[in-house]
Amino acid sequence: MEFVISHLSKSYGRHQVLSDVDFTFEEGKIYGLLGRNGAGKTTLFNCLNNDTEINSGKFFFKEGEKEEEVQADDIGYVLSTPTVPDFLTGREFIRFFIDIHSDKIKDPKTIDEYMDHVRIPEDTRDRLMKDYSHGTKNKMQMLINMIAAPRLMLLDEPLTSLDVVVAEEMKDILRSQKDGRILIFSTHLLDIALDLCDEIVLLNHGKLEVVDKNDLDNENFKTKIIEALKDADNS
């Protein structure tokens, strides 16, 4: 399976954010989407999730020579600031999610098995999620995407504000989700991308460019990447 973005463009008025984005993502890999703040990473994700209308181009799944239109259930979107229903406990939230998706969940597990997998502490599972830490809320957001098992997961800087321990746990969780799907992990931190991702793609001036990890041994190439990752205010 492949996920293909073909000549996708998006502008807001005269401001061109994405310009003829053309790229093919392969199943079984985590792709690091690198770009400075303001480069258009979130805009790209919103376009792919159909939250934002594109100006031109298309995107689709490809199996062999067959093109398949993207359906809502095909994509999971993990935000940098997790959004969970604060009035539910963690256990209630997972039970509710399983109930409304029961006809689509393959190989269902118990609630505790799911929560064990993402290392939700047992003493927090029956507490209201409004009292959860940022990291635990992030794990809950990740968990419902794991249960839904979409073909494509969009991860918008989910590790940025996590402590070191939780960030390492989240990396392990993400690595466990590669089989049979595609993960695109957005970040402006080169070190995280190098540690976690199988391939690195740079979003710069509205276009995607493959970054060969071997090229990072070349000081000139690494300088180019760092320059591209500078904040918008400094670019």
Output the pLDDT for position 48. 95
Which CATH code is given to the segment(s) 2-85+152-234? 3.40.50.300
Query: Could you give the CA distance from residue 51 to residue 174 in angstroms, rounded to a whole number?
Result: 24
Per-residue pLDDT, averaged over 167-176, amounts to 88
The answer to whether residue 10 scores a pLDDT higher than 90 is yes
What's the whole-number average pLDDT of the chain? 87
Output the pLDDT for position 211. 80
More confident residue, 88 or 34: 88
pLDDT tens track for 178-233: 999 999 999 877 788 888 999 999 898 889 988 876 666 666 666 666 666 664 33
Per-residue pLDDT, averaged over 84-93, amounts to 95
The 10 Å Cβ neighbour count of residue 18 is 24
Contact 144, 101 (CB under 8 A): no
Angle ∠(84,89,91) on CA atoms, nearest 5: 100
| 158 confidence band (pLDDT: 50, 70, 90) | confident
Per-residue pLDDT, averaged over 140-167, amounts to 87
Query: Could you give the CA distance from residue 133 to residue 127 in angstroms, rounded to a whole number?
Result: 12
More confident residue, 219 or 41: 41
Contact 208, 60 (CB under 8 A): no
